[in-house]
Amino acid sequence: MKKIKKILIANRGEIAVRIIRAIREMELSPVVVYSDADKLSLHVRLADEAYYIGESPSSQSYLLGDKIIETAKNAGVDAIHPGYGFLAENAEFAKRVENAGIIFIGPEPDAIIQMGSKTRSREIMKAAGVPIVPGTIEPIKRIDDLNKTASEIGFPVLLKASAGGGGKGMRKVEKIEELEKAYERATSEATSSFGDPDVYIEKYIEEPHHIEIQILADNSGNTIYLGERECSVQRRYQKIIEETPSPFITDEIRKEMGDIAVKAAKAVNYRNAGTVEFIVDKNQDFYFLEMNTRLQVEHPITEMVTGIDLVKEQIKIASGEELSFTQDDIKPRGSSIECRIYAEDPFNNFAPSPGKIIEYVSPAGGIGVRDDSGVYEGFEVPIFYDPLISKLVTWGRNREEAINRMKRALYEYRIAGIKTSIPYFLQIFENEEFLSGNYTTSLIERIESVKIENPEDYEFVALLAAGLRSMEMNGNSSKQSNDADSNTNWKKSGRMRTLRRF
């Protein structure tokens, strides 16, 4: 296999920046592509070479596989890293990259195809002896089958688009009377969102945990797991906070899940980095959900506890190297948490909040804080793409330390000009259920039902909280506390205590 010197990143935002960092540390050369909206993006500024590929909508830029491959050829790159989203799980793209004589940093196209459809992967997993969620293997084609199958499985059931992803294309059905209508809606949604009408039925697991296993596999048959990630803090089936280790499972289950995940990967001859997702019920029985055949958004928490740079490993595997460690070498240390910082307004139903960032102070500083950000002060967050602007990650010797460090970092984080999910996270880190570690995917429904009367105060206070807290600790009485401004702040501080009791 040829030596990799120059790598093109077919992506943007925080993940493009993350990948540039690994490439740079390996003393290789990062090349990027960009659209109109991204001319001044951080990934463009940090790369060695940047090529314009089209207009802002991703259908006219980041999804133009052939244009990206042509750009890569002209620039003389040896490999393409797809990041996540966009073309990352597009087997046709992976094939074309390889056909152009360029290395695709990811699995073989066949593995992407086998794991790309939820129904096909369920079939393969079942045959391989991997436990799957009870339900159908085949998509439901006839209304007659629908009622019969759902009754056999038992309500509630979940209708899922076979081609679904990103938390979209799922519908929970509580009783038989609602089934037909839900099926029709699910089918038409699946067609419009994924271009594939296939819908199947899964048993809805009550009060579940989403726990996933990180896999690395080289070309010499070594496949290992790097611990788990608890991803049960979700809004509308989308993860917003992840942590490792999971506070829910025992070491015994942890090992069982790791072994099963390796089995799942081997069943499709998987190579490179991937994630096997499981749904886990209250008895710690676990079932395969899907495999994501790419680097995941939440990969940094695994890096924090294992010390392994997953992107570097991806590049090494793609260039034909064997893994330099074995399963026994993987001994996760401490605890790590990630908050996905979105350009969204948490007080207005999480509406997108694009625009110019007029103040940006990252809390990355001090022990154990990592900010994987794709933005900077003065940057204009475009409306066209995923609203994830940064991932705030902390490490601690134990869960409590990681959480307290995260709270400290969230208090310090200053972003003005756009709205972000930061105040919402502060609320979650005050929640008893979350703090106890005994929470399931329904946690957010309960937090969301909390009404915040004065969001502006809350936001203002959240930003000031670090400063005010230290004033409280010092028993106040500094000279400044006599001036008018400080008095206002003290009043707000009182309000803060009320607001923060969620």
Residue 480 C-beta: closest distance to ligand ADP, Å: 44
Q: Can you tell me the distance from the alpha carbon of 368 to that of 97, in angstroms, rounded to the nearest whole number?
A: 38
Q: Name the E strands within 182-266.
A: 199-203, 209-217, 223-235, 238-244
Which of 96/210 has CB closer to ligand ADP?
A: 210
Candidate segments 32-40, 197-205, 300-308, 375-383, binder of ligand ADP by CB under 6 A: 197-205
What pairs with residue 81 in β-bridges? 9
For 289: left if phi > 0, alpha if psi spans -120 to 50, otherwise beta; the answer is alpha
Query: Which tokens is 306 given?
Result: 């294992």
Catalytic residue among 294, 340, 370, 405: 294
When asked if residue 208 is in the footprint of ligand ADP (CB under 6 A), the reply is yes
Partner from Mg ion, ligand ADP, none contacting 502, C-beta within 5 to 8 A by type: none
Partner from ligand ADP, Mg ion, none contacting 202, C-beta within 5 to 8 A by type: ligand ADP
Which of 4/231 has CB closer to ligand ADP?
A: 231
Residue 268 C-beta: closest distance to ligand ADP, Å: 17
Residue 365 C-beta: closest distance to ligand ADP, Å: 27
CA 456 remoteness from chain centre: 28
Letters for 279-298 (x = contact with ligand ADP by CB under 6 A, - = none) are: x---------xx-x---xx-
Measured in degrees and rounded to the nearest 5, phi and psi for residue 102 equal: -115, 145
Which one of 154, 166, 378, 494 is in contact with ligand ADP (CB under 6 A)? 166
Instruction: Answer for the pair 32, 9: CB distance below 8 angstroms, yes or no.
Output: yes
Query: Which tokens is 329 given?
Result: 């070498």
Which of 172/497 has CB closer to ligand ADP?
A: 172
Which of 203/271 has CB closer to ligand ADP?
A: 203
When asked if residue 205 is in the footprint of ligand ADP (CB under 6 A), the reply is yes
List of residues 6+ apart from 148 with CB closer than 8 A: none
When asked if residue 239 is in the footprint of ligand ADP (CB under 6 A), the reply is yes
Which one of 78, 202, 243, 372 is in contact with ligand ADP (CB under 6 A)? 202
Partner from Mg ion, ligand ADP, none contacting 83, C-beta within 5 to 8 A by type: none
Q: Can you tell me the distance from the alpha carbon of 224 to that of 4, in angstroms, rounded to the nearest whole number?
A: 24
Candidate segments 165-173, 215-223, 398-406, 421-429, binder of ligand ADP by CB under 6 A: 165-173
For Mg ion (CB under 5 A), the number of binding residues is 1
Instruction: Answer for the pair 222, 322: CB distance below 8 angstroms, yes or no.
Output: yes
Q: Which of 216, 206, 184, 181 is nearest to 197 (CA)?
A: 184
Residue 238 C-beta: closest distance to ligand ADP, Å: 6
Partner from Mg ion, ligand ADP, none contacting 182, C-beta within 5 to 8 A by type: none
**DSSP 8-state symbol, 123:** H
Count Cα neighbours of 338 within 13 Å in the Cβ-side half-sphere.
Answer: 30
Candidate segments 95-103, 139-147, 162-170, 478-486, binder of ligand ADP by CB under 6 A: 162-170
Which of 384/458 has CB closer to ligand ADP?
A: 384
Is residue 229 annotated as a catalytic residue, yes or no?
A: no
Instruction: Answer for the pair 267, 281: CB distance below 8 angstroms, yes or no.
Output: no
Candidate segments 201-209, 273-281, 308-316, 425-433, binder of Mg ion by CB under 5 A: 273-281
Residue with token string 């393409």: 80
User: CA–CA distance from 243 to each of 102, 253, 305, 369, 412 (Å)?
Assistant: 35, 17, 10, 14, 21
Candidate segments 122-130, 179-187, 270-278, 309-317, binder of Mg ion by CB under 5 A: 270-278
Measured in degrees and rounded to the nearest 5, phi and psi for residue 113 equal: -65, -45
Measured in degrees and rounded to the nearest 5, phi and psi for residue 423 equal: -60, -35
Measured in degrees and rounded to the nearest 5, phi and psi for residue 420 equal: -135, 170
Q: Are strands 335-342 and 388-396 parallel, antiparallel or unpaired?
A: antiparallel
Contacts with Mg ion by CB under 5 A lie at 277
Contacts with ligand ADP by CB under 6 A lie at 84-85, 133, 158, 164-167, 170, 202-205, 208, 210, 234, 237-239, 277, 279, 289-290, 292, 296-297, 386, 441
Please identify every residue annotated as catalytic. 294
